[in-house]
Amino acid sequence: MVKLTLPDGAVREVEHGTTLLDVVKQMSNSLAKKALAASLDGKTVDLMTPAEKDAAFEVLTFADAGGRLALRHTCSHIMAQAVKRLYKDCSVQLAIGPAIENGFYYDFDMERQLTDADLRDIEKEMKKIVKENLKLERREIPRSEAIAYFKEKGENYKVELIEDLPEDVTISTYTQGEFTDLCAGPHVVSTGKVKALKLQSVAGAYWRGSEKNKMLQRIYGTAFEKQEELDAYLHMLEEAAKRDHRKLGRELDLFSLHEEGPGFPFFHPNGMIVRNELLNYWREVHRRYGYQEISTPVILSRRLWETSGHWFHYRENMYTTTIDDEDYAIKPMNCPGGMLVYKSQLHSYRDLPLRLAELGLVHRHELSGALHGLFRVRNFTQDDAHLFVTPDQIEGEIQHTIDLFDEVYRTFGLSYKAELSTRPEDSMGSDEMWELATNGLQKALENRGLDYIVNEGDGAFYGPKIDFHLRDSIGRTWQCGTIQLDMSLPEKFDLTYVGEDGEKHRPVMLHRVVYGSIERFIGILIENFAGAFPVWMAPVQVRILPITERHADYAEQLRRGMFDRGIRVEVDDRNEKTGYKIRESQVKKTPYTLVVGDQEQEGHTVAVRKYGEKDSTVMPAADFIALVQKKIAERAQAY
């Protein structure tokens, strides 16, 4: 008998060789219908895998990453089978076809240049294969047999893959109907498990990612458990395309990117308003939470980066220079500078916790192919803080930091979840310190009642961490905030404080960022709000439209009154139709558009149209100004 231990600790005994699918059926028929794969001792496997030894066992559905991977991996095989069926006369050779985070792809070498019409045909054939409900059968074969088989089929890329595998690797194939592919798996039990699929695009891709190799055609697709889930995902992609921060950045004149500085963004006046409002808010919050702001140099000597370890472990991402025949580096991180500020004077336990915050400009060499708008750049401002605490202050300080994070994210209407990453195998520091640090992070999360998952062994080598994943208005998640406990840098820089006992002690340091990168956070906010920022962040908060020239003086009087009260306001007195100017104001996503004519001028009122609304509301000008001031003061999200 084989003992399978379930996640809740229960143990099921089954006969040796029983397939995992049969095990699941014994547990629950309804669960068996949802099951897509299984986990044995942490490894994702097919449900047709036999139970041959005692192991930890978990059933994987589409709700699990392993279940989604198995379903989408099967979809890539279905797509390859469909292409082989449809284009027999096009010398189709198969390359690779993995599952990826939100879907799958397959690379093809074929004479025919695929079009959108071809994708529709391929998708139609895929749905036929799904209806055929073909079983996927795994077979392990000798290396020589695998090479001979794929040579006979003319699959040169498969032969190359096999020949490059180590001699001791098990060669396996999966067969569904007439189609057989080289594959390690895992897969679902049959093609009929795929309920909702969509092919999305075709693009060029070099074989094995090298420009020296042949350009192949890569078809991207996605698959979900239910059609409504697929529809929701496709709708989200449509929304994301509309919200692309690069497109909106141009349309709203926020920032630009130029060939003269790839990866180095240029912020325009409108973008600087958004940026400065974020920084003003950041400073206000940090002042209330007891932080002191510092600033450290952009260029520092090699000796410093050797002490921190960056010169040896991060140099390929650093920009370096020579000054007075000595090596220097432009900082990729703010941490070492913060160490020197702490070390510049003696500290007592009474000084701790000491919270030093910095809006530091950092530079990192990113590959040109990885650059992406404001999301992946080569210079950015990191809203760092380095907190120096005694061991018994760890939990309280983490709780204090989470309070700050919660306030900031709620201000922007962003919900979040947390991930706790624990000690990796390659780490430094004592078991006692790691246990203290990890428990401090965990207790702080639990005391707040926060949803969190644990990533075992995924912490930094110098300490555990909490990552905060924000959820935006269309359901995407972004990793922004981080709290990291560091027991390495205080030791490397020999940081100390004098304790109550009069002896020197080593402080524990917390690294933390809220926005992460100002540039990236602005990109996230552009997409979250689709460019329609809350009034406190909007570059132009109010746009006044006089109907005719005789209303221009009243419009200017309103403008001066609002400007003097700190409101960002413009008058559009061009000789254009009012309807045209209203539409343009909406395109520019102005929170409030005021139309003023005879009635408004006589009554000292304004006709207010909020962004996104068709109707206007007439109200006294003084009341409108008070409303806008209140919205700004409260940093309200709604207009």
At 356-399, the pLDDT tens digits run 999 999 999 988 888 899 999 999 999 999 999 998 898 889 99
Q: 0.75 cut: is pTM over it?
A: yes
Q: What percentage of residues in the chain have a pLDDT greater than 90?
A: 79
C-beta of residue 255 within 8 angstroms of C-beta of residue 124: no
Amino acid 437: pLDDT: 80
pLDDT tens-digit series, residues 505-564: 999 999 999 999 999 999 999 999 999 999 999 999 999 999 999 999 999 999 999 999
Residue type, 156: N
| Catalytic residue, candidates 46, 64, 384, 486 | 384
Residue 451 pLDDT greater than 90, yes or no: no
The label of the residue with tokens 């088989």 reads 149
Residue 462 pLDDT greater than 80, yes or no: no
Confidence of residue 408 (pLDDT cuts 50, 70, 90): very high
Amino acid 95: pLDDT: 96
How far apart CA 119 and CA 87 sit, in angstroms, is 12
How far apart CA 341 and CA 345 sit, in angstroms, is 8
pLDDT tens-digit series, residues 480-498: 999 998 888 898 899 999 9
| Catalytic residue, candidates 81, 93, 217, 382 | 382
> Backbone dihedral region of 9: left (phi > 0), alpha (psi from -120 to 50 degrees) or beta?
left
Residue 455 pLDDT greater than 90, yes or no: no
216-238 burial by CB neighbour count: b if 16+ within 10 A, else e? bbbbbbbbbbeeeebeebeeeee
Which helix H or strand E contains 578, and what residues bound it?
helix 578-587
Q: Where are the beta strands (DSSP E) in 16-64?
A: 37-40, 43-45, 55-60
**Which residues pair with residue 108 across a beta bridge?**
94, 217
Amino acid 265: pLDDT: 95
| Catalytic residue, candidates 335, 363, 378, 423 | 335
| Catalytic residue, candidates 193, 243, 465, 551 | 465
Confidence of residue 87 (pLDDT cuts 50, 70, 90): very high
465 catalytically annotated = yes
C-beta of residue 418 within 8 angstroms of C-beta of residue 450: yes
Residue 427 pLDDT greater than 80, yes or no: no
| Catalytic residue, candidates 193, 310, 386, 609 | 386
Residue 347 pLDDT greater than 90, yes or no: yes
Helix residue spans in 431-533 (DSSP H): 431-448, 489-492, 518-528
| Catalytic residue, candidates 364, 543, 559, 631 | 364
Report residue 207 as tokens. Answer: 């074989």
Confidence of residue 62 (pLDDT cuts 50, 70, 90): very high
Report residue 552 as tokens. Answer: 């221009």
Residue 230 pLDDT greater than 80, yes or no: yes
Q: How many CB atoms lie within 10 A of CB 454?
A: 14
Residue 426 pLDDT greater than 80, yes or no: no
520 catalytically annotated = no
Write the DSSP symbol of residue 463: B
Amino acid 314: pLDDT: 85
**Span 293-306, average pLDDT:** 94
384 catalytically annotated = yes
Residue 313: phi, psi to the nearest 5?
Answer: -115, -10
Residue 457 pLDDT greater than 90, yes or no: no
Residue 184 pLDDT greater than 80, yes or no: yes
How far apart CA 408 and CA 16 sit, in angstroms, is 55
Amino acid 35: pLDDT: 94
559 catalytically annotated = no
The region of weakest confidence among 63-67, 185-189, 311-315 is 311-315
The label of the residue with tokens 């602005």 reads 522
315 catalytically annotated = no
Confidence of residue 248 (pLDDT cuts 50, 70, 90): very high
| Catalytic residue, candidates 73, 331, 363, 511 | 511
Residue 309 pLDDT greater than 90, yes or no: no
Average pLDDT, the chain: 92
How far apart CA 420 and CA 451 sit, in angstroms, is 10
Amino acid 310: pLDDT: 87
**Span 461-465, average pLDDT:** 80
Q: Which residues contact 175 (CB under 8 A, 6 or more apart)?
A: 136, 137, 139, 181
Write the DSSP symbol of residue 540: S
Residue 332 pLDDT greater than 80, yes or no: yes
347 catalytically annotated = no
**Span 571-592, average pLDDT:** 94
C-beta of residue 567 within 8 angstroms of C-beta of residue 629: yes
335 catalytically annotated = yes
Q: Where are the beta strands (DSSP E) in 317-366?
A: 319-323, 326-330, 354-363
**Span 433-452, average pLDDT:** 83
Contacts 24+ apart (CB under 8 A), 326-330: 326/301, 326/302, 327/301, 327/302, 328/299, 328/300, 328/301, 328/302, 329/299, 329/300, 329/301, 329/302, 329/305, 330/298, 330/299, 330/363
Residue 268 pLDDT greater than 80, yes or no: yes
Confidence of residue 479 (pLDDT cuts 50, 70, 90): confident
Amino acid 368: pLDDT: 83
Give the residue with greater pLDDT, 524 vs 459. 524
